[in-house]
Structure 1
């Protein structure tokens, strides 16, 4: 991946609906080589897909909590069971296995704290092998994005 590919990725993160003519102009290429590079980035799995950035508040998902989860069993089978289960829960926006004094860190979006409290008891606590949780409520999101800076 060279600097032009990185420029293409940066522009696509800003606006994936950009025309190929405009994208090519912004990265300093003609249209055909720009399209070829974009197709290669898609084919090689660098670009995984395209979507819309949504405002979570009108979708009853404006409340964010981070949840530390400790499992009572960390065998490979137990971890796989937990991994499969969290993937089926739409309120869990992100799930990361971590090297810490707990096993997973979840990012959970719900309508409000009352909705979260219900979700904690009825869903998170019922996930396979959950022994303990600790919740951190977000007061304000300073940076919360799915895009990232691509180093030169």
Structure 2
């Protein structure tokens, strides 16, 4: 992928229904160039598909936290299985460095997340946690 491909993908991530004509005009290239590049990226599997993202209803705003976990390595699989039971946990990533896992969790109230973090921290094999409250999203391509 070159710079133009990355710009096309970014445009599609922002609005996958935007016309190739509008994307081309914004990027200063021909519509056929955008169309051909999208087709090529789809056939190569770079673009795997398109989806619909539903907006959260305004009355259901949620608080989000990021939690770093240091775990006993031999317990990682068992811990991840336990974490799957919490619907508030939306993402669990294995990371390198001082911590081993990164969790993203959300709930309607900060108090709910306080309870979640306490429960997660009490799971055998978790050595320590570090929690951050998310104030806002600067870039969100999910």
The reply to whether TM is greater than 0.5 is: yes
SS in 1 for 2:73: coil
State how many pairs are aligned: 140
Pairwise CA RMSD of aligned residues? Answer: 3.2
Q: Report if the CA contact (8 A) 1:92-1:109 is conserved.
A: yes
**d(CA) in 1 for partners of 2:97, 2:23:** 42
2:73 match: 74
Q: TM-score, normalised by structure 2?
A: 0.70
Give, in angstroms, the shift of residue 35 of structure 1: 2.9
Deviations 1:32-79 (A, max 9, x none): x5333213323434334433263476435x2122212121x313xx43
SS in 2 for 1:68: strand
Q: TM-score, normalised by structure 1?
A: 0.66
Q: Would the alpha carbon gap of residues 86 and 18 (structure 1) be closer, same or farther in structure 2, given more than 3 Å must change?
A: farther
**d(CA) in 1 for partners of 2:115, 2:86:** 14
Q: Would the alpha carbon gap of residues 88 and 9 (structure 1) be closer, same or farther in structure 2, given more than 3 Å must change?
A: farther
**d(CA) in 1 for partners of 2:129, 2:113:** 13
Give, in angstroms, the shift of residue 17 of structure 1: 1.4
Q: Would the alpha carbon gap of residues 103 and 53 (structure 1) be closer, same or farther in structure 2, given more than 3 Å must change?
A: same
